Amino acid sequence: MKIRDVMSTPVVVLLSYATIRDVARHMDYNGVGCVALSDAQHLVGIVTDRDLALRALAHGVGGDVPVSQVMTPDPVTVRASDDLDMAFEVFRRHSFRRLPVLDEDVVVGMVTVDDLLLHVQQVTDDLLKPVAREISEP
């Protein structure tokens, strides 16, 4: 299975000079907790709702400050065509929960720990259904 099969789309991408307030408004409007940040051509960072709370709000950073001041620069990424095991391995090695997905250097999605947990749950359910039917039939 490929990362494209479990990633969340669409992903919200904003320019890195957007203000913290604008990013928060986009998160609210789109119902997301993470935004990819671009320089108009390439991914340059990501910012999460947690980043806004801990790196901005907790330190009195104002809403009119560019989000580049609190973003995570040069995030680790995966490719949409990578095997799903690649995402599991990245999450095992790092302490973050969201991973931008690229295709030809364009952000096409976001894979999260939650996406992987849902996938594992689905696979487990698919494996257990035949067993449960066999056990429950006389």
Residues of the chain with pLDDT under 70: 138
How far, CA to CA in Å, does 4 sit from each of 67, 69, 73, 78?
28, 30, 23, 10
SS3 (DSSP) at 86: helix
Res 98: pLDDT: 95
The model's pLDDT over 19-58, given as tens digits with 9 standing for 90+, comes to 999 999 999 999 999 999 999 889 999 999 999 999 999 9
Domain 3-136: CATH class, spelled out: alpha beta
Burial category of 121 from C-beta neighbours within 10 Å (exposed 0-12, middle 13-18, buried 19 and up): exposed
Res 138: pLDDT: 66
- How far apart CA 25 and CA 68 sit, in angstroms, is 16
Spatial CB neighbours of 51, under 8 Å, sequence gap ≥ 6: 70, 71, 72
Res 125: pLDDT: 87
β partners of residue 48:
34
Largest CA distance in the chain: 68
Domain boundaries, the chain: 3-136
Pair type for strands 98-103 and 78-79: parallel
Helix H segments across the chain? 20-30, 49-51, 84-93, 113-136
Q: pTM for the full model?
A: 0.86
Look-up of token digits 């894979």: 111
